[in-house]
Amino acid sequence: QSVLTQPPSVSGAPGQRVTISCTGSNSNLGPGSHIHWYQHVPGTAPKLLIYDYTNRPSGVPDRFSGSRSATSASLAISGLQAEDEADYYCQSYDNNLSVLYVFGGGTKVTVL
């Protein structure tokens, strides 16, 4: 059971917009927290997509965007492309558990 909760799967047709939610508690998604998102194509190294809720590293397309509200965060993928089919994970820090990295269980994005 992961500390952060994500939907197991989302799907969309090419060109559509999909969103992935990440919910937690005050100790990991509350005030002062930081959420980061990763993309993982099985068999390859995971890739940083979004850091500190909304920031994109250089090279990440602006089709990927992050947002936050209360004790949740979301990743949106606009203009869905076939290459976006992958697993997506959110990550934060939990100050109650003294765990530097807590992750969501992952969301499989399928491009129809």
Partner 1 sequence: QVQLQGSGPGLLRPSETLSLTCGVSDSSINSGYSWTWIRQSPGKGPEWIGSLYRRGKTYYNPSLKSRVTISSDTFKNQFSLSLTSVTAADTGVYFCVRSDCSGSSCFIDYWGQGALVTVSS
The phi and psi torsions of 103 (rounded to 5 degrees) equal: -120, 160
> What is the torsion angle, in degrees rounded to the nearest 10, for the CA atoms of residue 56, residue 59, residue 61 and residue 65?
-10
List the one residue from 32, 62, 69, 82 that touches partner 1 (CB under 8 A): 32
Nearer to partner 1, 4 or 77 (CB): 4
Q: Which residue has the tokens 């997506």?
A: 88
Question: What string marks each residue from 34 to 73 as x (binds partner 1 by CB under 8 A) or -?
Answer: x-x-x-----xxxxx--xx----x----------------
From 19, 8, 6, 88, select the one nearest 47 (Cα to Cα).
88
Shortest Å distance, C-beta 109 to partner 1: 15
In the bound complex, what is the minimum distance in angstroms from residue 34's beta carbon to partner 1? 4
